[in-house]
Chains A and B, each alone.
Chain A
Amino acid sequence: MSTAARYQSAPTPIQKLESATVRLCGDSGDGMQLAGAQLARASARMGNAVCSLPDYPAEIRAPAGTLAGVSGFQVHFSSKIATTPGDRLTALLAMNPAALQANLKDLDPDGIVLINSDTFTAEECAKAGYAGNPLDDNSLTKFRVFPVPMDALTREAVARISLSPREADRCKNFFALGLVCWLFDRATEPITKWIKAKFATNPAALEGNLKALKAGYRYGEQAEWPMRYHVPEAHVPAGEYRHLTGTDGLVLGLQAAARLAGRPLVFAGTPMTPASELLHGLFERPQPDVRSIQAEDESAAAGMALGASFGGAIGATATSGPGLGQMSETIALAAMTELPLVVIDVQRGGPSTGLPTKTEQTDLLQAMFGRNGECPVPVLAVSTPSDSFATALEAARIACKFMTPVVVLTDVFLASGAEPWRIPSADQLPAVEAPIVESFVPFQPYRRNEWLARPWEAPGTSGREHRVGGLEKEDGTGAVSYDAANHEKMVRLRADKVAGIAGDIPELIVDGPAEGDLLVIGWGSTYGAIATAVARARARGASVAHAHLRYLNPLPRNIAEVLKRFCRVLVPELNDGQLQLLLRARFLIDAVGLHKIQGRPFLASEIEDAIERMTKDS
């Protein structure tokens, strides 16, 4: 039953759109992240393909009404595919003048602006840098502007509930969301259900938010606006689906890995934006076979995870920004002791504290090389929010099978982004197994199997007592050894083991022609923007293909051959050319970089332009 039919049928005509991109913006206390996440969920629930992009300041409450305090959440919902959060906005919700000022530049030329007119006072407009009131000076005439007194209407909607004025005002994000749902014909049931669960212990807030949501929707029905919009459901493979954020995917991937391995999971993390979301996710969903620990710092977090691995559990940790540096020593210790460890790095703008809430891909070289000594470790990257599940699981699989720390790179955009996820059945998932090493008397902790992995013999087994540590080991026995030849041998054995993982992972798949003018190769969260740009370029007749790397170390075994089949190679990255550097160094090719380091993902059009330049002059 469509939502329109549930309420009194409104006369407003509905126009079908293939896709829409809506950005909800307000002051950082206005609840836009929450409203945006609900719009994404509701859209996923309606069968749309969805991709979302939160954009919020690092401060919890920057000065109210200023540009610095503007928080936004963008949702792209589509009847086809939505692999990017959308380049241009179909509609913008501005809860205050600063939100309008900061976001109007991204609106479609004939886009829709929903405005909370109650906040457009002279004072607020001045704070946002407007000379006058933009609602009165005809500066918005090319857009379709709908001013709505949302503060007043929200207060009126919740008037009969015993809420303080502050609490009443806090419901206005749901009023706005209700109005957006009406305008884009979104069913509000999933949101209602969510509010009921979220505010179960606070009946006044529960009722207030529900009333505000309904009031916003009703306001639309009665507003006599010229048009509503509907984005039909996308055609997706049959199956059972759920809404999944990139963070949810990582949590589930780690938990599933532990169950598949039949071992406990010990996750240790610290409060560190944005990786702390992962810690929250694990604490919110306790499992009998999971121990989650909040550690004092990143060294402790990685150490706890490694200690757990020594005990036979799957040890995992997560961090962001400068936290990865703090973990370096422990990652090297895991490499030296050849114990499994999953390290998730939710990349954010750097260096140092940098841009804590903005996305970037600038930790690749640190993940590859940021340790003392010769210390290669496997590095994997997540490409979409739902891919986070498979990548986390794969990281744990490799860590266990090869007895090695594995670094998983994801980023702010992926971790907080969400999409519908087709729930796999357990029998589709890979086995997570420890190495089987031929037993040997006396027991040798550094004897290796055909993959060069050593046995994972946890304390508790009689006759297998042994010591591991950061000092160099003698091949086989694992005894401390300072022997020169043995050291070189061990360095090479550890490197060969990591390189050998290439024999256990899939080949690189090329999307598009198998050979041609241009290969666009990327990794991580640029997947959607590159895929969209390459598809558009091919539709225009360009000979261009896309390959996307989940495995950054070791690289897929066929990559050299793939690179050779194209005249030119373009490497778009949200950094200053880190994969580009690796490809140039490894394969002696003139890979061309496309770099963006602005704390925001690529627009598909930016990559499309680069493709056009390169295919034109080739």
Chain B
Amino acid sequence: MTTPVLSAKDFDSDQEVRWCPSCGDFAILAQLKQVLAELGEPRERHVFISGIGCSGRLPYYLNTYGFHTIPGRAPAIATGLKAARPDLCVWVVTGDGDGLGAGASYLLHALRRNADLKILLFNNEVHGLSKGQFSPTTRIGTRTRSSPNGSVESPLRPVEWALAAGATFAARTVDVDGEHLAQTLRRAAAHRGAAFVEIYQNCKIFNDGVFEYATDKATKADSVLYLEHGRPLLFGKDRGKALGLNRFDLEVVDLAGGAIPNGVPVHDEHAERPVLARLLAGLTGPEFPECLGVFRSVARDTFDHELTLQATTGPHLAGATVDDLFASDDTWTVE
């Protein structure tokens, strides 16, 4: 049987897309449809589970199975679905408010369990659908409806946080860099286990331009470092700068046109202990470049696989009929 060739259009649902004009979500949706079509998996085997907020609306716009749930719970709901149906491709769509506010606990445990879920976190550093309050990733000093004098709370760096939770796959990409976004989604889809992808996403209405340094041609080279497995950590115009290790921290090294000095670390996605990946994930501008790409990708047994294994093997399994359930070593007969 040949699988019918799918196109991005096959993933259009009959619903009108209702994000604000110029929202970064449009670009993400477009790339996602493209990647889904390439994956070749039939539509009915994909399930998109979302939480609340702008990102939460995404499942309505895809002609797959979908479940728009409640604040932060998508990772738990998806874990239950995957436990029941390991055969399905289960995606979680969340945002910085949904996934790291209400849902930080559920997200952490999904990553820790390594349930086979593809988790996309749209990070626009603001609560959008509730009309512009600061979120757990909003930078200090940002003025929002709930921080008119500037936010005083220290922001989370989602990938750094995901790595601390034990994510077996963690990556970061940007809404408007279509090629990089698509490539990152493909990598996530191919990972067996919990794949965490943070997507820098512009909110035109409440936090416009917050990632401009990472997308504007003029500043991008010095502001962004593209991670490549097995390659040194180079960035800047003509890759003229590198990240070096100074004791327990990273520092920017200007190569000044010279050769790459000894001691400049090489990126290793498969490192057993993601020590360097965590340092990279925590970097913020303008002192440092912010890293995009895959920080970590390691193979581990998945939660759903182990759960199935324990339930279907072992010494105490009962027979398959209803009557078998009632058997006990403690029965007696009354005549």
- Give chain A's interface residues, CB within 8 Å of chain B: 41, 45, 47, 190, 193, 197, 236-243, 252, 255-256, 259-260, 264, 266, 268, 284-293, 295-297, 299-301, 303-308, 310-313, 315, 329-330, 333, 337, 423-426, 429, 458-471, 479-480
Contacts and interface: CB of A to CB of B under 8 A. Distances in A.
Contacts of A471: 68
A284 B81 CA distance: 22
Given A252-B325, A291-B84, A333-B70, A296 B109 contact: yes
A153 B269 CA distance: 65
A18 B192 CA distance: 64
Contacts of B335: 238
Contacts of B87: 460
B329 A197 contact: yes
A469 B15 CA distance: 14
B162 to A, nearest CB: 16
Interface stretch (B220-228, B244-252, B314-322): B314-322
Nearest to B59: A467
Interface string B71-85: 101001111111111
A45 B323 contact: no
Contact of B318 (A260, A285, A467): A285
B6 to A, nearest CB: 12
B181 interface: no
B317 to A, nearest CB: 6
Contacts, number: 202
B331 A470 contact: no
B130 interface: no
B326 A286 contact: no
A300 B325 contact: no
Given A286-B314, A286-B317, A288-B317, A41 B330 contact: yes
A459 B68 contact: no
7 shortest interchain CB distances as A-B pairs: A469-B68, A304-B80, A307-B80, A303-B76, A467-B66, A307-B77, A313-B84
Nearest to A469: B68
Interface stretch (B150-158, B253-261, B305-313): B305-313
Contact of A293 (B60, B83, B105, B329): B83
Interface string B145-174: 000000000000000000000000000000
Contacts of B333: 238-241
Contact of A462 (B42, B66, B308): B42
Contacts of B76: 295-296, 299-301, 303-304, 307
Q: Is the interface of A mostly helix, strand, loop or mixed?
A: mixed
A591 to B, nearest CB: 37
B88 A307 contact: no
A287 B332 contact: no
B311 A303 contact: no
Given A307-B76, A462-B42, 7 more contacts: A238-B335, A240-B334, A252-B325, A288-B311, A297-B105, A469-B68, A480-B60
A393 B45 CA distance: 30
A583 to B, nearest CB: 33
B85 A460 contact: yes
A268 B314 contact: no
Contacts of B235: none
A242 B333 CA distance: 9
A315 B82 CA distance: 12
Given A287-B325, A459-B85, A467 B65 contact: yes
Contacts of B79: 293, 300, 304, 307
A307 B311 contact: no
A242 B88 contact: no
A398 B47 CA distance: 26
Contacts of B262: none
Interface in B30-63: 42-47, 49, 59-60, 63
A308 B84 contact: yes
Contacts of A197: 329
Interface string B181-222: 000000000000000000000000000000000000000000
B95 to A, nearest CB: 15
B70 A286 contact: no
Interface in B9-47: 13-15, 42-47
A238 B333 CA distance: 7
A429 B325 CA distance: 13
Contacts of B317: 286-288
B69 interface: yes
A54 to B, nearest CB: 19
Contacts of B302: none
B216 to A, nearest CB: 36
B22 to A, nearest CB: 22
Nearest to A477: B14
B288 interface: no
B330 A190 contact: yes
Contacts of B15: 479-480
A312 B70 contact: no
B73 to A, nearest CB: 4
A313 B88 CA distance: 13
Contacts of A458: 85
A79 to B, nearest CB: 14
A263 to B, nearest CB: 9
A469 B60 contact: yes
Interface string B276-315: 0000000000000000000000000000000110111010
A463 B308 CA distance: 28
Nearest to B106: A300
A305 B80 contact: yes
A266 B84 contact: yes
A479 B310 CA distance: 39
Contacts of A303: 69, 73, 76-77, 80, 106
11 contacts: A197-B329, A240-B334, A284-B316, A293-B80, A293-B83, A296-B106, A311-B85, A313-B84, A459-B46, A465-B63, A480-B60
A268 to B, nearest CB: 6
B80 A315 contact: yes
A290 B311 contact: yes
Given A264-B84, A308-B84, A239 B65 contact: no
Nearest to A235: B334
Interface in B101-120: 105-106, 109
A336 to B, nearest CB: 10
